[in-house]
Amino acid sequence: MKRFVSLDILRGLSIFGMVFSAIIPYGVLPAWMYHIQNPPPEHILDMTRYGLGWVDLVFPVFIFCMGAAIPFAFRAKWKRSGMDTRRDLKDIGERFLMLLAFSFLCNLLQPSLPGYWSKFLILAGFGALWLIYVKGASLKTRIAGWVTALALLVLYAFAYDVQMTLFSRNIIILLLAFLYLFGALIWYFTRDNVKWRLAAFLGVIAISIVSRFLGFDGILYASRNISWLLNMEEINFLMILIPATWVGDRLLTMQEEHDTGIPRGGFLTHLLFWGMLLLAAWICVSSYNRWLPGGKIFTVLALYGLVFLMRKKAPQYVPLLFLGGLLILSGLWIEGFEPGLTKVPCSFSYCFVSGGIAILLLLWLHYLSEFFPRGVLSGIFSGAGANPLLSYVAHGMFVVPLMRITYLQVVYQWARPADYPWVGTLSAFLVVLFTMWLVSLVSRKKIYWRA
């Protein structure tokens, strides 16, 4: 089954954003270059700050992409080998466990170690992950990867005194593992009934409301016996993932009916899709600056205009735009009943607005891929997005160790002068872009990591 390239591009951009935002100069850039609730210079969590910035968007966008990809993955598998409920449920469970393992391995296999030769150990850890997660690997290959990984962990524990606990996991991958488990099961059992999926969506909202009312979120976070594995964000973020599965269903149907094209309709077509990008930017700017009344009024008018143009220029995408607009407007309305739009704690408005923006960005990227199919950047990000596990660890476990081994890290540090933080930001941008390019080369060879 043909991949929906725009979804890969959006996923690649979100991974780029996650890696890039983690390595930009610390504490010296404007506040909008960081998580809204972690302002410079100290980056201490401030739960009284509200709003949505681009850094706050990258993770929800990735969740959206994961949800939209679920129907594509299962339908492609059924097309190859038929439908088998027992096998499908087994595959869901296995992928969950492999993602759960990845959340620990990708963290534990790249500790901060002193010395030149320790960088080769990080590369060995990268190689171990390659053997474990590369698609199509034989059982012997995977066993070799696990043996290598476990040997490295023993070495780190006894030779380098690296502390390993149940909290030694990557929280992002941990969340994604549970979101995939719950989201895939919900989609699987509601794949032919949108009403039941809507009921599941409303059920998630109800669980979140009850949990907050009873203070269950705080109870989970406070319990160290539980919080290493479970927290309510594994439920809350389903408010992004479940609508995304419907988007995936819709796109898959359109693809099978060869109805994904966008007519070349002149200026208004360009205005329509660039307007989606501008609206996404406006929502972030108005939310960040707390222009709440004016921001909401303009957003309503802009969405009305976009729907009007979409009906004229690409009517097959109206349901997607309508869903995106509904999520955004619902989120902006709900924000009035919350302290504000926040990532921590995860507010309803945060989930709804970011999910709606993800749809706008997907439609805009699809327009770009239709009108400029051979773009260099789209090729890089689609290749990186098709290989998300590799993209996520390639910078920290491959590019950075190689730069230190070859002393290119000296040049990189020189290109990050303390007095010119924007120069350092550009350097970080180029290094992460280079990383995504390397991953895209691997994807072109049809080599993929899969959980």
For the segment 292-339, what is each residue's pLDDT rounded down to a tens digit? 999 999 999 999 999 999 999 999 999 999 999 999 999 999 999 999
Q: Per-residue pLDDT for 153 more than 80?
A: yes
Q: Per-residue pLDDT for 109 more than 90?
A: yes
Q: For position 264, what pLDDT does the model report?
A: 82
Longest dimension (CA), the chain: 67
Q: For position 375, what pLDDT does the model report?
A: 82
Closest residue by Cα to residue 149 from 397, 416, 418: 397
Q: For position 414, what pLDDT does the model report?
A: 94
For the segment 375-431, what is each residue's pLDDT rounded down to a tens digit? 888 899 999 999 999 999 999 999 999 999 999 999 999 999 989 999 999 999 999
Provide, rounded to the nearest whole percent, the portion of the chain with pLDDT above 70. 100
Per-residue confidence at 128, pLDDT binned at 50, 70, 90?
A: very high
Q: Are 46 and 39 in contact (CB under 8 A)?
A: yes
- 134: helix, coil or strand? strand
Q: Per-residue pLDDT for 1 more than 70?
A: no
Q: For position 221, what pLDDT does the model report?
A: 87
Mean pLDDT of 153-180: 96
Q: In the chain, where are the structural domains located? A: 5-444
Structure tokens at 430: 């180029």
Q: Are 365 and 4 in contact (CB under 8 A)?
A: no
Closest residue by Cα to residue 3 from 265, 269, 270, 388: 388
Q: Per-residue pLDDT for 434 more than 90?
A: yes
For the segment 198-214, what is each residue's pLDDT rounded down to a tens digit? 999 999 999 999 999 99
C-alpha 150/C-alpha 166 separation (Å) is 16
Whole-number Cα distances in Å, 253 to 10, 75, 249, 258, 368: 20, 11, 6, 9, 21
The number of residues in the chain equals: 451
Q: Are 263 and 290 in contact (CB under 8 A)?
A: no
Q: For position 189, what pLDDT does the model report?
A: 98
Q: For position 374, what pLDDT does the model report?
A: 78
Instruction: Give the predicted TM-score (pTM) of the model.
Output: 0.96
